[in-house]
Amino acid sequence: MNGYQMTKQNQTPIFETLLGRAKRKVTSFHTPGHKNGKGLDSKLKDFTGKSAYLFDVTVFPEVDSLHDPVSSIKKAQNLMAEAYGVQASFFLVNGSTVGNQAMLMAACNPGDSVIVSRNAHKSILSGIILAGVWPIWIQPKVDQNLDILFDPLPEQIEAALHQYPEAKAVLVTSPTYNGVTADLVKISEIVHRHGKVLLVDEAHGPHLKFHEDLPISAVEAGADMCVQSTHKILSALSQGSVIHFNSESIDINRLKKIISMLQTTSPNYLILASIDLARRQAVLNGERTFEKVIRLAEGARKKINQTRHFFSFTRKEIQARGYDLDVTKLTINVTKSGFSGKEVDAILSKEYNIQVDAADLFNLIAIMGTGTDKEDVDRLVNALEEIDTKYHGSAKNWTLVIPSLSTEMVLMPREVFLSKKTKRVPISKAAGFISAQTLTPYPPGIPVLIPGERITQEICDYLMNLSEKELRVSGQETDKLRTIKVVAVH
Ligand SMILES: Cc1ncc(COP(=O)(O)O)c(C=O)c1O
């Protein structure tokens, strides 16, 4: 970025506009009903103070419209696009969830197919249903030393493109929840060589561009579109996300229309302003901030790896497997402690007042962000060091396994979800039927069945085993997992 562009990046058009309006004490005869915060319940106002609610406005010319931006929102989106070096950026107020849905609907027509790793966030599956496309699943790889799943290697994508030349797009999740990034440079080359488009769910990577010791970001690697949760690591408020568009082959006007169809007509301007400010902060201070966060994370990783029972994999270990790692994400494996990740999560929360972002049987995931400081990191490390010596779980013998998920897609997920008659059959008798539901055990946190798929005996056995252990499976709809909803007549 040149000096002129850097100076421009100091601007925050949405924030400045809202601030100007707030200072003028405008009498509100518009929504929302609390009227500049005056009508809010005092419990909320007393706790938060009231100035923030002066920003809670609705669409009128002064503050611009998210659906048809012509002034401050347009300027802010242009500054975002310039910051990330893309053709256009669009602000989202329903997180990367709506971004993933919009990306699929914009890149594909109903009936198209998309190559996608099964290790995808549930918003991808809802996008597949909304877009009316056929998913071509790639089975994620299980790493039983690290107890995590990996997204596809470039070779797997190349093989899938050879096997399914009709695919319109490839959708990759990078970074994964664990901060592992795929080789997007190679993947982008392969996907474009086959004449397809590359979509990336980069919900966990809005910061990658701002420090050279972080993995390459999706648009720098050549993605046609990517979605980022600006709220996850940068400083936007929850729900604040962005779609970056950088494609010669996708219709940008179609994307604009779809984003507009899926988003509220009453966006929260506080969220919009926070996306605007987060961009400014990242461009102007990102390198310094992430220098510090990377140092803190690496310091924590080293200390965790000196404990007896916990470990956090390193960038080197991930690179040896053909991927890269955003080191600001700490995946903390607890299996040697005899505890599950969920048990250590509960100890951290109850005994130490520390909350991590996620936990499963094997791991905790501690996410760092622009607000992480040394004191926080020391508290986490000290707590883990104390738990390591003071607490002992009873050894368990869990292994991360997933059944083979490359089953036949008989019907399109959308068709089953919206229009098929269904019935319930016992799991033991479900093999051969077509699933009418999504079942996602945690771990591994990926669906073992989705609507439209032929149910195999292997999947039935896997689910019966979970049911015997009384492990709850997301989407099961009943208290006990004894039956599966299937397509009644086909
Ligand atoms: C990989 C991935 N994609 C998408 C999402 C959805 O993001 P959001 O919460 O911003 O809607 C998440 C949320 O955790 C995620 O982990």
Digits of tens for pLDDT over the chain (490 positions)? 888 888 999 999 999 999 999 999 899 999 999 999 999 999 999 999 999 999 999 999 999 999 999 999 999 999 999 999 999 999 999 999 999 999 999 999 999 999 999 989 999 999 999 999 999 999 998 999 999 999 999 999 999 999 999 999 999 999 999 999 999 999 999 999 999 999 999 999 999 999 999 999 999 999 999 999 999 999 999 999 999 999 999 999 999 999 999 999 999 999 999 999 999 999 999 999 999 999 999 999 999 999 999 999 999 999 999 999 999 999 999 999 999 999 999 999 999 999 999 998 899 999 999 999 999 999 999 999 999 999 888 866 778 888 888 778 999 999 999 877 999 999 999 999 999 999 998 777 889 999 999 999 999 999 998 888 777 788 888 888 899 999 997 6
Rounded Cα gap, residues 153 and 30, in angstroms: 52
The CATH homologous superfamily to which domain 287-390 belongs is: Aspartate Aminotransferase, domain 1 (3.90.1150.10)
- pLDDT on residue 468: 81
Rounded Cα gap, residues 297 and 313, in angstroms: 12
Q: Is 229 close to ligand 1, i.e. is its CB under 6 Å away?
A: yes
State the pairing for strand pair 113-117/88-92. Answer: unpaired
Q: How far is the CA of 182 from the centre of ligand 1 (A)?
A: 17
CA-nearest residue for atom 16, ligand 1, is 177
Count of CB atoms situated within 10 Å of the CB of 91: 25
- pLDDT on residue 200: 98
User: Which CATH architecture fits 413-487?
Assistant: Alpha-Beta Complex (3.90)
CA dihedral 281, 286, 292, 298 (to 10 degrees): 130
Atom of ligand 1 nearest to the CA of 231: 10
Which of 123, 124, 326 has most ligand 1 atoms within 8 Å of its beta carbon, as the pocket-test mutant?
123
CA-nearest residue for atom 9, ligand 1, is 95
Residue 66's identity, in one-letter code, is L
- pLDDT on residue 490: 64
Rounded Cα gap, residues 100 and 249, in angstroms: 18
- pLDDT on residue 473: 87
CATH fold for domain 3-282: Aspartate Aminotransferase; domain 2 (3.40.640)
Rounded Cα gap, residues 30 and 35, in angstroms: 8
Residue 483 near residue 424 (C-beta atoms within 8 A): yes
Q: How far is the CA of 110 from the centre of ligand 1 (A)?
A: 24
Which DSSP helix (H) or strand (E) runs through 290?
A: helix 269-304
What does the domain layout of the chain look like in residue ranges?
Answer: 3-282, 287-390, 413-487
Report how far Cα 12 is from the mean position of its chain's Cα atoms: 26
- pLDDT on residue 392: 84
Q: Is 177 close to ligand 1, i.e. is its CB under 6 Å away?
A: yes
- pLDDT on residue 399: 82
Which of 97, 151, 208, 233 has most ligand 1 atoms within 8 Å of its beta carbon, as the pocket-test mutant?
97
Q: How far is the CA of 394 from the centre of ligand 1 (A)?
A: 33
Of 218, 206, 215, nearest in space to 326 by CA: 215
Helix (H, G, I), strand (E, B) or coil at 71: coil
- pLDDT on residue 405: 80
Note the pTM of the prediction, 2 decimals: 0.96
